[in-house]
Amino acid sequence: MTEKVIEIRGLTYAWASQPLLLDISEFDISIGERVFLQGPSGSGKSTFLGLIAGVLEPQGGHLNIAGETLDRMKGPARDRLRADSLGVIFQMFNLVPYLSLLQNVTLPCRFSKKRFEAARDAGGPELEARRLLGRLGLQGDDILTRKVTDLSVGQQQRVAAARALIGKPRLIIADEPTSALDADTRDKFVELLSEEAERSSAALLFVSHDSGLAHLFDRAVDLSDINTAQAEIL
Amino acid sequence: MGASMISLSWRSLLNRKVSALLTILAIALSVALFLGVDKTRKAARASFDNTISGTDLVVGAPSGQINLLLYSVFRIGNATAEISWGAFETLQNRPDIAWAVPVSLGDSHRGYRVMGTSQAYFEHYKYGRKQPLRFRDGQKFEDLFDAVIGAEVARELGYDLGTPLILTHGLGRGGLSDHDNRPFRIVGILAPTGTPVDRTIHVSVEAITAIHVGWETGARNPLADTISEEMIRSFDLTPKTVTAAFVGLENRATVLRTRRAINTNRSEPLQAIIPGQALAELWETIGAVENILLAISVFVVAVGLVSILTSILSSLNERRREMSILRATGAQPGHIFTLLISEAVLLGLMGAVLGVLLVQVLIFIAAPIMASQYGVALMNTGPSLTDLVTVGVVALAAFILGLVPALTAMRRSLSDGLTVRV
């Protein structure tokens, strides 16, 4: 059996007093695999990611992340699993405004011992942060000492990518990370993210409604194809 | 998790410098007000309690014991009536009384009160823990026109032994009612005591009589100037009345009996008070006012603390995104809770510490003024136990108030999921 980073069987979820939003009978991501997940807004993408990230508690089915059974875990254990194994990139406003650029990148090392140790073994969190930022095209004190709120959106997204990558998590989740970028920066960003994910052997789950990006990934999946609950509503 | 979150709180507060500073300032000012009221109250009490000791009874004309205490011992206010010299002599001769010192008030010199008394005063008057008066320079008055001044009079007016002194009739600032035809000479300067003695000019009761020759109507009789010093010295200068008398007993155990005997004196109405008891009554009266002041300042501190709540609660909405970023990078709800609670405690703690420092600075500035204007010695002994307790209580209150935003944010961070639609 090949090891999976995500293994889903019959996962269901509904928001309080609303109809079933998600019912996913089967969905897997292998180690190091880069998957493009497509779906119109309102299709339950964010909820799906919330479940995978362990912020939401699944109501039924099985959900294994990085070899651990998330659906049987309590809140704190899910939080630890997320801290240890997941890197998350949002659509925008990814950075904590009162932390420096480097502190934003090393943030996961504050919450996860595992990622702190991984970063330490790679030369220390700050050095690792500088290295990742450098690979993503952010280097020089001119940029690194800037207030994060003064960075361009493209730069902010790259800082968020470095943060997601630090400490070698097994899975990177990117929730529409390019929707605020123009076409040129968008392709460049996806390329860099994809490269770096591969370099640190992390799987990548990239969510977007922009199907033009699908060809940059190993596999493209439409959420409505795997979510049977969606069909029932329609 | 603690230290790491506190350093995040600190950065978060720095990021909202202006709002954080205003909150800290509000707490600092309120804490300073509270501690200032408390310290002034304690200092006033201590300096009042220290003013007289070793005197068993103070005797004066009947007017209420607080009133008598205030004008005879503290030189606050004026006597409404005096007691006759005869009554004083009778007191002096009572077998149960060891000593009696006359006190004759009414004149002044450049705002400092003049007290007519006897040489025995310097032996019997005690302050603090039964400390006697000490001479820094010179000695007791011997001659009719000798004067002994308190330490502050000497310091403030720059007087030294031998400096001539012109007394003023009543408590005015001098001028027409000066006793300028009868100058005094300073023969003694007392060491500082921290009591009203420091602000007093002591002369003999005979001298008080002498300078009032020709003033029987209350103002200067033109004839007064025609009476020479030699003539005055030849007069019988035994005073007709004195303001009060300080009395020491042979045996302290008889104090109640002696007091009753004096209070029921037939020939002339007299009132004898026990200084400690009169002081206790004074504090009872003032205590109510003190408590109101203290209560007000406690409410002001409460208002200051509520500003912590306001400042953090109002920031919560705009920080929803920040919380979800922290959650996404691995923060547990407990981390979010710690972040916000430590912001509240940091604000409270910094405000309270600043307040303590502020009071120290204020005392440093105000102590000389308080001492010279009101005779209250504000001891600047550095941060006291009260200061520490206050800082602790404010920090604790900040923690309790911080529970509101901390629990709110924690609950929200659970329900918001990974993404917040802002």
What is the value of ipTM here, to two decimals? 0.85
Is the pLDDT score of B422 beyond 60? no
What is the share, in percent, of chain B residues with pLDDT greater than 70? 92
| pLDDT at res. B58 | 94
Residues of A in contact with B327 (CB under 8 A): 55, 79
Average predicted confidence (pLDDT) for chain A: 85
A-B C-beta contacts closer than 8 Å: 77
Residue A164 confidence (pLDDT) above 60: yes
Per-residue pLDDT, averaged over B324-340, amounts to 87
Strands B83-84, A86-89: parallel, antiparallel or unpaired by DSSP? unpaired
pLDDT mean over A215-226 = 86
Residue with token string 């501690």: B35
* Whole-model pTM over 0.95: no
> What does each C-alpha distance from B167 to B74, B196, B279, B281, B296 come to in angstroms?
20, 18, 31, 34, 44
pLDDT at B376: 64
Give the Cβ contact number of residue B130 at 10 Å.
Answer: 8
Q: Which residues of A touch B334 (CB under 8 A)?
A: 76
Mean pLDDT along residues B46-74: 89
> Is A83 in Cβ contact with B330 (below 8 Å)?
yes
- The DSSP annotation for B122-169 comes to HHH-EETTTEEP-EEEE----STTEEEE-HHHHHHHT--TT-EE--BS
Cross-chain Cβ contact B11/A99 below 8 Å: yes
Q: Is A50 close to B417, i.e. CB distance below 8 A?
A: yes
Region B299-307 average pLDDT:
90
Probe site for chain B from A48, A82, A91 (most B CB atoms < 10 A): A82
Backbone angles phi, psi at A174, to 5 degrees: -120, 115
Mean pLDDT score, A159-172: 90
Q: How far is A19 from chain B (nearest CA, A)?
A: 18
Q: What are phi and psi of B287, to 5 degrees?
A: -50, -40
**Shortest Cα distance from A90 to chain B (angstroms)?**
8
Contact A90/B328, CB-based, under 8 Å?
yes
pLDDT tens, position by position, B306-317: 988 888 888 888
Check B418 against A53: CB less than 8 A apart.
Answer: yes
Question: Which letter does DSSP use for residue A24 in this model?
Answer: E
